[in-house]
């Protein structure tokens, strides 16, 4: 694929192909002319694979082929002026057929109840929830080359689909750049005299781009799930746990900076947005926090900014500081212009006192602080606040205690050792449980912990599991 910086097609495929407007048609036709058919098709495969990440390879491929065919026909010299609008209408009608070969989406029936442009706009807005657990597993070098030699185009298509659907939250220019570099590596190494040496050299060349792709997918997935404000809170929680001796003024600007970077870069069509912003952000982490945590200081000795970022991102929470319990914000602070600072201060103070994973803390903080903020609408906020505080504190402590019970020992031990300690705790808690019942409890708790008890657990999945596991506690 040619270097795509502006990526008009990102807009066009996201919306225009279903809309059929002349100016959008012009954008798509310019992309086709600039890229050529095969690169245009490859870009379409990346775009639709990330948009419909739960669709099968066959479903996504059908959609891509129909879109490319439509574009070629309607962008051809002398094509009917109504071609684009007519063919996109046919595409939306075909999408509504019960045996449509395209990716399935629960919102399709609602879109199909609409007519004309309204239906096309509705179809354009459909996309699958991103995969929080990437399923792509890279084959061995021998398997890669065997598949490539057998069918180079088929290998490329399958790779683009699998990788783009697994890492679809990475900014599009980064995803396009990495997949292009990877396929170039495969083409070079599978035709070289010594593929093994070639792969070693080439992988080293694209290591930083590979890290940038996988890490931007992680952080942008969380941003897509949380939005800017909750993402800011999430980063505040993690930083407070990684540097519990820091002060709020050291940590809050970093949390705000992270949220601002994700807002600017996750949907950016600029190829260097994330590549430029992340190194600057890691430099600020090192400047502000390396003297407060020896592990952060060690991370800051890594050779490249991307390696520093990866090191600090996966760093576990330190043991919390032994200080008195954090107090909920007072009514006056929550009910005036200082609300944002008061919420940040409380979140910071609470989280530097615990190493409970962020997904749990984000889950409980929102309803807790919302419950207190509701008092601001009362004629006597202070009385409301005094009435609510004991109840909210009880729920909060009960929730944190339950989380500690599930996640205790997880980050400090191997999974095998964790399961062993978990079994001992559950046997002591449920002495009358049969071996079979105990096995079920251990499996359920350990599976939950393996997905949600790390510092960077996936928010969408864990939110629903937490809701299910702790619905009795989460009663406000």
Q: What DSSP line would sit under 391-449, residue for residue? A: HHHHHHHHHHHHHHHHHTTTTTS-HHHHHHHHHHHHHHH-TT--HHHHHHHHHHHHHHH
Residue 163 and residue 177 in contact, taking contact as beta carbons nearer than 8 Å: no
Helix axes 116-125, 83-95, angle to 10 degrees: 60
Is residue 68's pLDDT more than 80? yes
Coil vs helix vs strand at 171: coil
> What is the dihedral sign for C-alpha 168, 172, 174, 176?
positive
Is residue 211's pLDDT more than 90? yes
CA distance 201 to 197: 6
CA distance 449 to 418: 10
Residue identified by tokens 């095998």 is: 416
Q: Residue range 69-74: average pLDDT?
A: 91
pLDDT band at 258 (very low <50, low <70, confident <90, very high): very high
Q: What is the reported pLDDT for 377? A: 83
Q: What is the reported pLDDT for 5? A: 32
Q: What is the reported pLDDT for 331? A: 60
Counting Cβ atoms within 10 Å, is residue 303 exposed (0-12), middle (13-18) or buried (19+)? exposed
CA distance 157 to 42: 7
């Amino acid at each position: 694929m040619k270097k795509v910086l502006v990526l008009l097609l990102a807009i066009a495929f996201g919306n225009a192909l279903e809309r059929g407007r002349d100016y959008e048609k012009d954008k798509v036709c310019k992309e086709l002319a600039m890229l050529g058919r095969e690169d245009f098709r490859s870009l379409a495969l990346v775009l639709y694979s990330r948009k419909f990440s739960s669709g099968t390879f066959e479903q996504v491929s059908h959609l891509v082929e129909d879109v490319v065919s439509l574009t070629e026909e309607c962008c051809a010299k002398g094509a009917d002026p109504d071609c684009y609008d007519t063919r996109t209408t046919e595409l939306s009608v075909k999408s509504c057929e019960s045996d449509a070969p395209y990716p399935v989406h629960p919102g399709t029936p609602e879109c199909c109840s609409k007519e004309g442009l309204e239906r096309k706009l509705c179809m354009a807005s459909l996309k699958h929830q991103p995969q929080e657990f990437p399923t792509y597993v890279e084959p061995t070098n021998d398997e890669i080359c065997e598949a490539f030699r057998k069918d180079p185009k088929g290998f490329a298509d399958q790779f683009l689909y699998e990788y783009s659907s697994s890492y679809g939250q990475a900014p599009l220019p980064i995803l396009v750049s990495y997949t292009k570099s990877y396929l170039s590596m495969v083409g070079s190494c599978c035709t070289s005299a010594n593929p093994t040496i070639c792969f070693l050299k080439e992988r080293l060349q694209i290591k930083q781009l590979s890290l940038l792709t996988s890490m931007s997918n992680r952080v942008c997935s969380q941003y897509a799930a949380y939005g800017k404000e909750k993402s800011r809170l999430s980063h505040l929680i993690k930083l407070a746990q990684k540097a519990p001796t820091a002060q709020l003024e050291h940590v809050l600007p970093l949390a705000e900076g992270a949220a601002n970077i994700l807002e600017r870069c996750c949907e950016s069509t600029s190829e260097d947005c994330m590549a430029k912003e992340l190194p600057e952000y890691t430099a600020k982490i090192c400047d502000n926090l390396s003297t407060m945590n020896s592990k952060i200081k060690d991370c800051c000795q890594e050779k490249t900014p991307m390696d520093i970022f990866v090191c600090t991102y996966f760093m576990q929470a330190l043991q919390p500081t032994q200080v008195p319990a954090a107090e909920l914000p007072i009514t006056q602070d929550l009910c005036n212009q200082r609300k944002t600072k008061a919420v940040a201060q409380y979140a910071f103070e609470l989280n530097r006192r615990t190493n409970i994973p962020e997904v749990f803390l984000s889950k409980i903080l929102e309803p807790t602080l919302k419950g207190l903020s509701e008092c601001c609408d009362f004629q006597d906020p202070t009385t409301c606040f005094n009435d609510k505080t004991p109840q909210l504190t009880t729920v909060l402590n009960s929730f944190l205690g339950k989380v500690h019970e599930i996640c205790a020992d997880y980050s400090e031990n191997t999974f095998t050792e964790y399961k062993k300690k978990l079994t001992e705790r559950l046997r002591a808690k449920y002495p009358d449980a049969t071996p079979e019942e105990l096995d079920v409890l251990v499996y359920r708790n350990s599976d939950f912990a393996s997905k949600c008890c790390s510092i960077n657990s996936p928010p969408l999945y864990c939110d629903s599991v937490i809701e299910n596991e702790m619905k009795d506690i989460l009663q406000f």
